[in-house]
């Protein structure tokens, strides 16, 4: 009994704190009020029409069923009981329907709330660092080298914030890409181009890049597809091991173009694979071979690009065994 009471108390507290729960209840009550008005009017009409105007005494008959006269005698009680049961049923189903209707809105609201919090956190950190540095420098005069160092660090943080803002704008724009921007693109050419561009970057990390491609034509936005492979390659290099490899493969399977990006990195914990596409989510900052972690938007951008091209994306990984990102596009 105590356990039930605790659960009920917890539900009441969460109910009070959730504006969507209260909104669902209000919708259910308004719906039930409308039904109550309709039931009240119909009940009055039924009672008025079917209640006998004169009292007629008839001898009691032996029977096992309700007679019509007895039903009329108890009509008011029957109607009231039916109305109460109907209102209770309507209230319950109205509440459940309201929760089902508002749940997608609540999910979007929570995502937006979390997104704003993440943006504020990501911006607050570099701003706090620059503010603290500026206040320290203003307290007293320092050598020129100190100012140069501070300006260099500030420029680095500004570049990071600029990159994050540009990435956010790109994510927002992905949903508004005009149909005219889609053309037929050969993914093999896109992959080869990005392999060439990232060869020096991979060399500095002692990473080997490989490509196994066939001509694979899709309908897409060239700039977005280039950015997709840029993010995948950079991510595969940054989270790889020294002396590791990154392999991009393209294949045709019936009406689909299948692209896989496999790295020999240290992998992602199984519990984190479902969340790596969330904005600002980083499974483990220590995984990066760079001194500074990214903004956590790379894979979010990849997923947005894939979805805008009517494709699918999934990732297979385990800690210490590398990762494989598999993308499918409709053939163009």
Is this prediction's pTM over 0.75?
Answer: no
Q: Integer distance in angstroms from the first to the last C-alpha of the chain?
A: 63
Nearest C-alpha neighbor of 259 from the set 309, 297, 300: 309
DSSP string covering 133-178: HHHHHHHS---HHHHHHHHHHHHHHHHHHHHHHHHHHHHHHGGG--
Whether the Cβ atoms of residue 166 and residue 202 lie closer than 8 Å to each other: no
Phi then psi dihedrals of residue 184, to 5 deg: -80, 125
Average model confidence (pLDDT) across the chain = 78
Looking at residue 287, its pLDDT comes to 43
Nearest C-alpha neighbor of 154 from the set 137, 130, 136: 130
Question: What is 176-330's CATH number?
Answer: 3.30.565.10
Looking at residue 319, its pLDDT comes to 81
Looking at residue 176, its pLDDT comes to 64
How many angstroms from the chain centroid is the CA of residue 154?
33
| pLDDT (tens digit per residue) in 254-312 | 899 999 999 998 888 777 777 777 777 665 544 444 444 556 677 888 888 898 888 99
In whole angstroms, what is the distance from residue 84 CA to residue 39 CA? 10
E-strand spans in the chain? 183-186, 208-212, 217-220, 245-253, 256-263, 312-317, 323-330
Looking at residue 250, its pLDDT comes to 93
Domain map of the chain by residue range? 2-51+65-113, 176-330
Look at the alpha carbons of 323, 240, 304, 112 in this order and tell me if their dihedral is positive or negative: positive
In whole angstroms, what is the distance from residue 237 CA to residue 190 CA? 18
Looking at residue 84, its pLDDT comes to 84
Q: Token pair of 154, please?
A: 């500030």
Report residues of the chain scoring pLDDT below 50. Answer: 8, 11, 15, 54-58, 61, 63-64, 285-292
Looking at residue 257, its pLDDT comes to 92
| pLDDT (tens digit per residue) in 243-266 | 999 999 999 998 999 999 999 988
């Amino acid at each position: 009994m105590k356990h039930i009471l605790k659960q009920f108390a917890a539900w009441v507290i969460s109910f009070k704190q959730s504006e969507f729960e209260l909104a669902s209840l209000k919708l259910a009550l308004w719906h039930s009020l409308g039904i109550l008005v309709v039931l009240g009017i119909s009940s009055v009409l039924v009672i008025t029409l079917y209640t006998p105007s004169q009292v007629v005494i008839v001898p009691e008959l032996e029977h096992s069923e309700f007679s019509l006269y007895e039903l009329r005698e108890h009509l008011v009680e029957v109607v009231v009981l039916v109305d109460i049961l109907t209102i209770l049923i309507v209230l319950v189903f109205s509440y459940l329907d309201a929760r089902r209707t508002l749940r997608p809105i609540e999910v979007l609201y929570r995502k937006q709330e979390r997104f704003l919090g993440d943006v504020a956190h990501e911006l607050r950190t570099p701003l706090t660092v620059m503010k603290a540095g500026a206040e320290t420098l203003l307290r007293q005069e320092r050598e020129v080298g100190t100012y140069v160092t501070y300006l260099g660090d500030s420029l680095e943080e500004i570049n990071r914030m600029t990159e994050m803002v540009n990435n956010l704008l790109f994510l927002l724009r992905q949903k508004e890409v005009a149909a005219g921007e889609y053309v037929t693109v050969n993914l093999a050419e896109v992959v080869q181009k990005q392999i060439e561009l990232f060869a020096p970057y991979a060399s500095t990390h002692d990473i080997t890049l490989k490509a196994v491609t066939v001509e694979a034509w899709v309908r897409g936005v060239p700039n977005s597809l280039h950015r997709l492979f840029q993010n995948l390659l950079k991510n595969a290099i940054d989270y790889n091991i020294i002396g590791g490899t990154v392999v991009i493969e393209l294949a045709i399977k019936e009406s689909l173009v299948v692209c896989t990006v496999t790295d020999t990195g240290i992998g992602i914990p199984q519990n984190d694979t479902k969340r790596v596409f969330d904005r600002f989510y980083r499974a483990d900052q220590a995984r990066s071979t760079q001194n500074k972690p990214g903004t956590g938007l790379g894979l979010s951008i990849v997923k947005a690009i894939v979805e805008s091209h009517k494709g699918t994306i999934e990732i297979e990984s385990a800690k210490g065994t590398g990762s494989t990102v598999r993308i499918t596009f409709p053939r163009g």
